[in-house]
Every structure is written in C-alpha cells, then in structure tokens.
Amino acid sequence: MEALPDRVTAAAAGSWGNFALGGHDPERNRSFIMYQISGGGYGDNSDHDGLSNGCSTIVISKAPPVEIMEQQFPVLYHCYALREGSGGVGRHRG
C-alpha cells in the first residue's frame, strides 16, 4: 500500500509520557503523590505544522505551571522545556 501524505495527518503523541513521584514532605509533615502529564503533540499534515505539547490521547491535557508544582510539592525544577528539534524536519514539523 502506498503512503497518502496529501490526505492524512501524521500520528499523534509519539513522544508523550507521564511522571509520578511520591514521598514524605518533612517541612509540612505529610505524604504526597505528584502526578504530572507531559504533552506529546499532534502530527503535521500537508498544509501545516502539528501542535506541540498537546496530549491528544487524553483530550488537551497540560501540566500545571512549574510554579504551582513547586508550591504544592517539595520539588524544584531546574529546567522545563520542549526538546529542540523534536518536531522533526521536513516541509512541516509534526
């Protein structure tokens, strides 16, 4: 079967994942469970780029802002970013 690049959208969420962390917060004297959804994306099509950092498999879920996560959980983010070039190369990024 031949590919139909002008008639289909590329696969979605090929790079998304989830992150879970649990433990005890000694400053607040309580246990915690942090669950973070990280977005993947929607694939491109023949007309335009795909959507970056959206999670198509569970609607349009986004992770809360880093500032909220640091306030609610005993974590400190040093870097939180999209990986440069993760959309691929070609006429449209997906």
5: left (phi > 0), else alpha (psi -120 to 50), else beta? Answer: alpha
Please give the DSSP secondary-structure letter assigned to residue 56.
T
Residues whose CB falls within 8 Å of the CB of residue 38, separated by 6 or more in sequence, listed in order: 16, 17, 18, 19, 55, 63
Q: Tell me: the pLDDT tens digits for 15-60?
A: 566 789 999 999 999 999 998 876 666 777 778 787 766 655 555 5
Three-state secondary-structure class, residue 69: helix
Domain spans of the chain, in order of start: 17-72
Backbone angles phi, psi at 64, to 5 degrees: -60, 160
Tell whether the model's pLDDT for residue 74 goes beyond 70. Answer: yes
